[in-house]
Structure 1
């Protein structure tokens, strides 16, 4: 039995902290035990913390949590809040008598999406990070306008949090969580059909399939704006046994899911970042073959999660807010 959610992968929990008045929030993915983690960054305007230590040649091999947050550079403070919660709960990389939580993260730009951003000297994100970690649960991930997806938008519709999961042909579970805040669009022209339609399972984002006839404006360029107010960030997780190099390759292959779901993607105005983690519960029999299967599955799961993020989102209650998919096409 699965819930089509990242939490179908045993050994992790997900928590959101939402500040609707400010139009922003934070999402924390907390691993029950340290997990191997890597990252692949493709966008031209990324914002992140501790991604350098995820390179295969760096000393630390595992992480305790991954943070996805709104707030642009201010949102990186959320990692400190998650670290504080982990430290209080005896988690971290052991250095002598000290435990140092390892918490990489990435942010999206939602500062112009509405809400009260006049927070004074210190931003709210450290507190939001702590709240998200404390709220983490193994229940299905809440989707849409919640957590780090609260202020997320696309070129023409409200964005948000998406998640999906699958079992690969090798028997490994693969799940994804994504914050869709793209400069481009997840839908085909003005049709309301999703670019991810060929990957859809059941009617998880409306069941509309591809449009017929093909819209004349299908390939018309849709862009949010000329400022770096974008970025799609994601985490894919598998229960396979992978090292950091293999997890890096999983992140690279998973990026294809963004290309299938959002157009354009990886622009100079995006900071597209995909983390990949492995909980190490299920062995890999044949690395080359199984890695191809895992990457194929991760790309599909991430493409589906992107469409679900837009499909499940609700418009923010602010003047000029972008409409939700359901308000236009539902």
Structure 2
């Protein structure tokens, strides 16, 4: 009797868990986009292959670095909230090169699936097997790209990571909002909320090669070498030529309402910069570990503030070992650290994509009721994000109808949309918002690299 009761209870529990869990019926079935690129870094290093994969529906993505020759790697974690795979192994100090791949991913901890997926791809493709000493080693880290920056919870999964791995090629690295940096942002500490992405830089001195790659999703602002801010949706009350130093010097007042805008919310406290430094000169584990620390420390110049409690900053330092040390000709590890720190700053700056400009409403444009009525209805962006469009007095209004606000369109009241043209509307705000109706029953928020698409019920 007790056994039957237990079985019944377990059955009830299992059924309840299945029915009550959104994940039980929200499996991803999306098409990977591989190696999309606009501006790119091109570099001469055949043993490093790079592949990117993205889900436009997120948008979110993954970046895979595949080393054709097993390499030595060290790790330095600085942020207060890192998310990594196999990081403990990297701290053991073994001098034997074991690294096959490094995977950088969006999707927060769900995106860590990308790293293990690359390991199994190495095995499935016959590049590694299960023999002792030949097991694939992929390591990786993630950024948080959910929250109020997008209206869904799509994440980089096994299919996307393996597609990126298999599409990897040498010498090309997409810059900006691509791969793992597809939905990155920076400057949330000062409410800048600028779009960010992935950056890279390469330098060769004689036979010495140094490459730096980074995905900047930082709480701090990206800072130019002259101290100016590289990207920020600025508060209109700020002085025209305000610098990163000015913001830091004004803390905490520079973050208060009336000085910089709204205080931080939870989404703006989920930030990370994940980075990779590669040198071809052969180095010991101790030298490589110190190089990781030196370069990671230097990144505080290009991102201010850096490595806060709410950042998950991690840097991997890799030696491919192709360039043997020769007495009297090798560059010293300290010199490499100085050079690499400057290369990494270049990589940080190259991560900044072109920022969208605020759309300008046309106050002279008067739309007919029949034109506006074609937009009326409730549009779904995800299971928790919806917008209801209504009309009144020949004006179009929007109100969030799901479980969450949708950017400047809130749940508590309808807001009037200002017409830009017949099918585009805006909400005046510090942060640009464009509402574009592209087809009957279909609307896009912020068309372009960061767009969110909604569809009307019954269309």
Give the TM-score of the pair, scaled to structure 1. Answer: 0.79
- Is residue 61–residue 244 contact of structure 1 (8 Å, CA) maintained in 2? no
Q: Does 1:219 pair with 2:246? A: yes
- Is residue 145–residue 314 contact of structure 1 (8 Å, CA) maintained in 2? no
Per-residue displacement from partner, 1:95-154 (whole Å, max 9, x unpaired)? 34x84210010100101220421x5xxx54212211110111113201111110011100
Alignment of 1:1-330 (within 5 A): 5=41, 7-58=43-94, 61-92=97-128, 95-96=131-132, 99-112=134-147, 113-117=149-153, 124-155=156-187, 156=192, 157-168=194-205, 171-187=207-223, 193-194=229-230, 215=242, 218-221=245-248, 225=264, 227=266, 228-285=269-326, 290-311=332-353, 320=407
Work out the number of aligned pairs and report it. 296
Q: Which has the higher contact order (CA 8 A, sep 6+)?
A: 1
Per-residue displacement from partner, 1:215-273 (whole Å, max 9, x unpaired)? 47742147793544100001010111113222111111111342121000010000110
CA-atom RMSD, angstroms? Answer: 3.2
- Is residue 53–residue 60 contact of structure 1 (8 Å, CA) maintained in 2? no
Q: Tell me: CA distance 1:165–1:267, structure 2 relative to 1, closer, same or farther (3 Å).
A: same
Per-residue displacement from partner, 1:283-317 (whole Å, max 9, x unpaired)? 234699610111111111111111110145779xx
- Is residue 214–residue 348 contact of structure 2 (8 Å, CA) maintained in 1? yes
Q: Name the SS for the 2:289 alignment partner.
A: helix
Cα drift, residue 90 of structure 1: 2.4
Q: Whole-Å Cα distance in 2 between the matches of residues 216 and 86 of structure 1?
A: 46
Cα drift, residue 33 of structure 1: 1.3
- Is residue 247–residue 278 contact of structure 1 (8 Å, CA) maintained in 2? yes
Q: Which residue of 2 aligns with 1:205?
A: none
Q: Tell me: CA distance 1:216–1:250, structure 2 relative to 1, closer, same or farther (3 Å).
A: closer
The structure whose residues are more often strand, as a share, is 2
Cα drift, residue 59 of structure 1: 7.8
Per-residue displacement from partner, 1:169-221 (whole Å, max 9, x unpaired)? x7411001100000011146xx96549xxxxxxxxxxxxxxxxx974774214
User: Which is greater in Rg?
Assistant: 2
Q: Tell me: CA distance 1:60–1:285, structure 2 relative to 1, closer, same or farther (3 Å).
A: closer
- Name structure 1 gaps, 5 residues minimum: 196-212
Per-residue displacement from partner, 1:74-100 (whole Å, max 9, x unpaired)? 01000122112211232337634x842
- Is residue 41–residue 175 contact of structure 2 (8 Å, CA) maintained in 1? no
Q: Whole-Å Cα distance in 2 between the matches of residues 299 and 128 of structure 1?
A: 32
- Is residue 221–residue 229 contact of structure 2 (8 Å, CA) maintained in 1? no
Q: Tell me: CA distance 1:286–1:53, structure 2 relative to 1, closer, same or farther (3 Å).
A: farther
Q: Whole-Å Cα distance in 2 between the matches of residues 150 and 276 of structure 1?
A: 23
Q: Whole-Å Cα distance in 1 between the matches of residues 139 and 111 of structure 2?
A: 12
